[in-house]
Amino acid sequence: MYAIIAMITKYVLIFVIYMFILKIAKLIYQDIKNMTIWEDSKFMNPHLKLLSSIEKADMNAVTEIFPLKNKITVIGRSLDCEIVISDPHISSRHIQIDKVNQGFKVTDLGSSNMTYINDIKIQEPVMLKEGDKILLGSTELVYSEGGKLNE
């Protein structure tokens, strides 16, 4: 009698362990799937790509991505900015990016080291186009309109 109870208990415990492992595997799969969807969704909206200062020539050397979700986005060194970049050559409030009907407009906020778009110093607000390179101090950002999953 005890042998039958021990055998049933053994199989129940094995079943519980397998169910536990299956549940953990399912949670890991869902977590990875959700992370991939989140990563891909960043590319569906307009965003700025921060290029590595070491490998600016290599467009694949993206170190960080900043989605442009707000109507107004200020970039600078100050912690009050929506996008904070710690580069000593960037002003505390360097540029402002405004969301307008046609896209996004960049305005220099009187920065000491100026702002360059595609190697041209901007003095008035400029509309951004796909692939525009924004140079702030020694930091280079690339604008993307989004909608591309494989960048």
Beta strands in the chain (DSSP E): 47-51, 62-67, 72-76, 83-84, 95-100, 103-108, 115-117, 120-121, 126-127, 133-136, 139-144
In this prediction, residues 90-116 reach a mean pLDDT of 95
- As a whole number of angstroms, the distance between CA 109 and CA 115 comes to 9
pLDDT at 136: 95
| 35 pLDDT tier (thresholds 50, 70, 90) | low
| 150 pLDDT tier (thresholds 50, 70, 90) | very low
Is 50 exceeded by the pLDDT of residue 151?
no
pLDDT at 34: 60
